[in-house]
Amino acid sequence: MNLTILAVGDIVAASGLAFCKAHLRTLRRQYGADLVVVNGENAANLGIRPEQADTLLRAGADVITLGNHTWSRREIVPYLDGEAQILRPANFAPHTPGRGWAEFDTPAGPVAVINLIGRCSMDYTPDNPFAVVERILRQVKTRLILVDFHAEATAEKLAMGYFLDGRVSALWGTHTHVPTADTQILPHGTGYQTDLGMTGPMQSVLGIQPALSINKFRGGVPARYEPAPGPNKLEGAVFTINAQTGLCVSAERVSIHD
């Protein structure tokens, strides 16, 4: 028996949330996905609100992962402890609210989903994700294991991919909002993509109005970032996993747009 996983890149702003809501169930049916994992950490531009998380779950997501903007909306804090389907990075300080990994039921049995955050070029220093994932893997009982590695550096994400190759079913990167063209199965059987991309405004700089980003890089007076108008897109990947071995048998990019 095979298990099909749909992983969706970072939801950006209200328009990205609306686009995901409009298309996620159709995509789920199209690919026959048994489990859908969506990174939602930019649904409120920065962070995610409880009602936005509820919208994603009602739209067809089974699991929501987060990242460096987890704490940008403080109203999400009690939600993280109360809602089992939302994860924050496991290598945040252990006393922070929420959980960094969990197991979810599927037709092929339980699937573990692990959320990690990178340390290269981030604004703070979480625990070492390589050490943390080692500890988690010692606790996981299922062979079906997925990892969302929310990280800036492609080298850090690639290193994690090879570090976990053959030990997890699939690993994908989020955070940079630009899809990479390296969807593949690593030598020992782990499905991999360095970055899924994003779900939100197409004609933008990572979801932001281009003029605002240009102003920043030109050294202009700082201005509040606002999401770009216009058409939207959804980017991600589909991984097919052999339920007996826990290894990936196919991986392909997903991209749709207005």
Q: Give, for all 258 residues of the chain, the pLDDT tens digit.
A: 999 999 999 999 999 999 999 999 999 999 999 999 999 999 999 999 999 999 999 999 999 999 999 999 999 999 999 999 999 999 999 999 999 999 999 999 999 999 999 999 887 779 999 999 999 999 999 999 999 999 999 999 999 999 999 999 999 999 999 999 999 999 999 999 999 999 999 999 999 999 999 999 999 998 888 999 999 999 999 999 999 999 999 999 999 999
Q: How many domains does the chain have?
A: 1
Residues with active-site annotation: 69
Q: Pairing relation of β-strands 232-242 and 248-257?
A: antiparallel
Cβ-proximal residues to 119 (8 Å cutoff; 6+ apart), any chain: 125, 126, 128, 129, 151, 156
- Rounded to whole angstroms, the maximal C-alpha distance in the chain is 57
Can you give the pLDDT at residue 139? 97
Q: Quote the CA–CA distance of 221 and 131 in Å, as a whole number.
A: 41
Distance CA 166, CA 189 (A): 5
Confidence (pLDDT) at 222:
86
- CA proximity to 75, closest of 49, 41, 45: 49
Distance (Å, rounded) from C-alpha 138 to C-alpha 221? 49
Check residue 224 and give its pLDDT: 85
The predicted pLDDT at position 44 comes to 97
Q: How far apart are CA 176 and CA 154, in angstroms?
A: 9
Range of the domain at 159: 2-257
What residues contact residue 22 under an 8 Å CB cut-off, 6+ apart? none
pLDDT value of position 198 = 98
Side-chain-side CA neighbours of residue 110 (13 Å): 9
Locate 220 and state its tokens.
């202009």
CATH number at residue 243: 3.60.21.10
Distance CA(7)–CA(199), nearest Å, equals: 11
Distance CA 192, CA 170 (A): 6
The pLDDT score that the predictor gives to residue 122 is 81
DSSP letters for 164-206: HBTTBSEEEEESS-S--S--EE-TTS-EEES---EEEESSSBT
Name the residue among 175, 162, 197 with its Cα closest to residue 89: 175
